[in-house]
Structure formats: structure tokens, C-alpha cells
Amino acid sequence: MTETKTATERINIERLMSKIEALGQVGGLPGGGVCRLALTDEDKAGRDLVVSWMKELGLKVTVDEVGNIIGIRAGRTDGAPFLMGSHIDTVRTGGYYDGNYGVLGGLEVIACLNDARITTEIPVGVGVFTNEEGARFAPDMLGSLAHQGQLDKEAALGAVSIDGKVLRDELVRIGYMGTEPVGSMRAAGYVELHIEQGPVLEREGITIGAVEGVQGISWTEVNIKGVSNHAGTTPMSMRCDAAYCAARIAVFVRELALRMGRRQVATVGAITVWPNLVNVVANRAKLTVDLRNTDNELLKQAEAELAAFLEQLKQDEKVGIETRKLARFEPVDFAPEMIDLVEREARALGFSVKRMPSGAGHDAQAFAPNCPTGMIFVPSVRGISHNIEEHTEPKDLEAGANVLLRVVLNRAGSAA
């Protein structure tokens, strides 16, 4: 017997895939993948496309003072909405799914409610949050933190990008400096659909992750000041070599993570040296250190060991070293009722499900202190992300979006 599915029981995967592929062309890279850095022209084009889809779905669309876009579908009653959402800004070597899947999965749920002419008890909405990646402006999750009152509006608007632009000016330039006050809106609850971006679900053959929380994140910019000198004539004992010190730091943080083991991770993702010439001992270097751990005490230990290492390196190599904190988030736990709900709805649909922490930061962590918050993960092929090869199978994308639909119907109630 063919399974009869109503619009409120199953999402339309063809409709969802066509939006994912269309958005993936915006900022699409020649060899595949996407580069849509926050508040660039590509981000603007992506925003315009998503806003047009929101309007087609009949959502009331607002843009707030840090460029967050919120589309709301009215419920039988007014009041705080149940929100879905994520981000559409990407890293430089982004894929089709990181962030985009959560936004477009939310729009697909709205389309299902429209098809079924369902009126939910409370309003339901989808958020597109500014600068989640933190790749262009720090900190990451900037928009959702400001949206939930955890980052001062002026601090957010004053953020300076890696290419020297001020966030406020970029919002104006792309036409997304909204008028909706930022920081005061509270949701009845928040759920974010996202790819895992790691290897766990695929390795264990599991379809859905019921996310328990997000690990702690510490981002530090390190500026090293040495002395430029001739690569041939300068005795090794006389060198104040900024590039060598940058390399030492990259090796140190890798060894630190391996020594600490368990869930400690460490990355030096960006290094720039000056004057960056083959025959000149570098006089300057700038690098970033990303430390993460699910245990905040261990993360603090890692930060302290890094600080001690930098102090010793300064003495040994006679260089100047200054650090600047780019982001610091304590681990966040999601609401047990939301974790239970994701797990229950996944099982009800016949999917295998696993409770797990998130290694990546997400907009959901900004909502967690303010309302019942949860996340739904689906597997990443070969566990890769922040890579143009990022991929998730359509059957898994469909599974995750169907769990999202059921979570929304449960939390927003279907009045008719």
C-alpha cells in the first residue's frame, strides 16, 4: 500500500533541494562550493534571494539593527514565536549546507504548514543571523548574540573585518542596516537544523543527532613583532624572526591538544607574515589560535598553557608578542525537553538517533540561555565541512527536515 503522506507529515525534498542548489549558486566557486563571506556582495545576493522566498511564503519579514532577517508566520494567538533558523554566510571554502540547510529547512517547514493550511497556536518563524561564521568579522555568532541581548549592539556594529571594513558600514553598503530594534526579541523556543560537520553520525551509521549542547570556544589573535633582516648575512644568534615564532606557536597548540587528549582541539587557521619575502627574516606575523573543549576548566587550562608558552617565546626569541581575544564562549547545554523531543520525533519517524555535543559553534547557543533550545544534526559525508567537498545525502537532508517539521508542530501547536 503506498504510504499516504499529508503535507504536515512529510516535507517536500525536491522543493528543499531546489532551494539548496539555487542558493548554492550565489557565491558559487568555479570548482564547486561557495564563498559567501558575511556582508559581502555575495551575502547580499543570498539575503535578497532568501527574503524573496520568505515573502513568497507569506512571512512578515523584518531586518534588525545588525542585519538579522526574521520571517514570521502568524499563529492563532500573538506573542513570542517559536523560531527556526541559522545562517547563510559561509567561510571562504564553504559548502552548500553549513547554515543554509537550517534556514532553507525552516522555509520548507513553513511551506508544509501553508500547503496543509495549518494554523499554529503560536507564531512560527525563521531567522537568518548575521556573521555566524566569524570568518570575516569576529566574534562568530555575532548576529544571534546581539539578537538575544548577549552582545552589545554598538560592539557588534563596530566590529572590524579582516579586510579592514566596519560592520556598520558594510550593513549600510549592502542595504541590510535594518530598523527593527535588536536584542529585545525573545522566542518561545528555538530549534536549529544543521549538518554535523564531523564524522560521528556517518561512522556509526546514525541518521539524526539530538544535540546536547555546544563546546566552549576560545579565539585569540596573536601579533608578533620581530626585526626584519637579511636572510644570508644575519647570524642565527642575532635573529628576531617573527615567522619562526608563528611556526613555533602552531606546533605548540597541536602538541598541547594531543597532550591534553580527550575532547581538546586546537587550530592555527590563519597566519600572515611580513614582508613575506624569500630573503628577508620576517619582522611581523599575525596568527589566530582556535581552542575548544566541552569542559570549560580544561579550556581555561589550555588557554593558560598557551599564555605561558607565549611569554617564554617572547624571552627566548627577543620578539614582541601581543594577543587580542576575538571570541570566548563557555560550553552551552541545550534544554533537556528539546533534546528529548528531537530524540522522540526522530524515533517516531523510524530514524536512528544519537545524543551528542556539537564541536562547531552555532546560532542556537545564543538562544539557549533565553528559551528552550535544541538542534537537529544530520550526517556529513566523510565528516568534512568548511570545505567545498562538504556533502550530505538528500535522504538525510529529508530526514532532518522531517524531524524539524514534527518538532515545530509539537512546540507551536497546530490549532486547526
Measured from the Cβ of residue 1, the count of other Cβ atoms closer than 10 Å reads 3
Residue 99's binding partner out of Mn ion, ligand HGY, none, with CB under 5 to 8 Å set by partner kind: Mn ion
Cα–Cα distance between 45 and 14 in angstroms, integer?
23
Q: How far is the CB of 305 from Mn ion (least distance, A)?
A: 26
Identity of the residue, 118 or 360, whose beta carbon is nearer to ligand HGY in the bound complex: 360
Q: How far is the CB of 381 from ligand HGY (least distance, A)?
A: 18
Q: How far is the CB of 138 from ligand HGY (least distance, A)?
A: 10
Cα–Cα distance between 142 and 146 in angstroms, integer?
6
- Binding-residue pattern over the window 90 to 109 for Mn ion, x denoting contact by CB under 5 A: --------xx----------
Say whether residue 202 binds Mn ion (CB under 5 A).
Answer: no
Q: How far is the CB of 141 from ligand HGY (least distance, A)?
A: 7
Query: What are the cell numbers at 213?
Result: 549542547
**For binding to ligand HGY (CB under 6 A), which residues are involved?**
132-134, 140, 360-361
Q: How far is the CB of 99 from Mn ion (least distance, A)?
A: 4
Identity of the residue, 120 or 293, whose beta carbon is nearer to ligand HGY in the bound complex: 293
Q: Which of 43, 113, 52, 116 is nearest to 84 (CA)?
A: 113
Residue 216's binding partner out of Mn ion, ligand HGY, none, with CB under 5 to 8 Å set by partner kind: none
Q: How far is the CB of 154 from ligand HGY (least distance, A)?
A: 22
Contact 131, 166 (CB under 8 A): no
Beta pairing partners, 358: 214
Q: Which of 97, 73, 87, 124 is nearest to 24 (CA)?
A: 97
Q: Hunting for cell 597532550 — which residue is that? A: 259
Say whether residue 363 binds Mn ion (CB under 5 A).
Answer: no
DSSP state of 382: G
Contact 92, 49 (CB under 8 A): no
Find the residue with minimal CB distance to Mn ion: 99
Cα–Cα distance between 169 and 175 in angstroms, integer?
10
Q: How far is the CB of 134 from ligand HGY (least distance, A)?
A: 5
Strands (E), 147-215: 189-195, 208-214
Identity of the residue, 65 or 98, whose beta carbon is nearer to Mn ion in the bound complex: 98
Q: Which of 94, 87, 108 is nearest to 33 (CA)?
A: 94
Residue 42's binding partner out of Mn ion, ligand HGY, none, with CB under 5 to 8 Å set by partner kind: none
Identity of the residue, 168 or 194, whose beta carbon is nearer to ligand HGY in the bound complex: 194
Cα–Cα distance between 329 and 16 in angstroms, integer?
32
Identity of the residue, 134 or 213, whose beta carbon is nearer to ligand HGY in the bound complex: 134
Query: What are the cell numbers at 209?
Result: 543527532
Residue 43's binding partner out of ligand HGY, Mn ion, none, with CB under 5 to 8 Å set by partner kind: none
Residue 361's binding partner out of ligand HGY, Mn ion, none, with CB under 5 to 8 Å set by partner kind: ligand HGY
Identity of the residue, 12 or 387, whose beta carbon is nearer to Mn ion in the bound complex: 387
Q: How far is the CB of 216 from ligand HGY (least distance, A)?
A: 11
Strands (E), 231-365: 265-267, 271-274, 280-281, 284-293, 320-329, 332-333, 353-358
Write the CB contacts of 23 (distance below 8 Å, at least 6 apart in sequence): 46, 49, 50, 88, 96, 100, 104
Site residues (CB under 5 A) for Mn ion?
A: 98-99
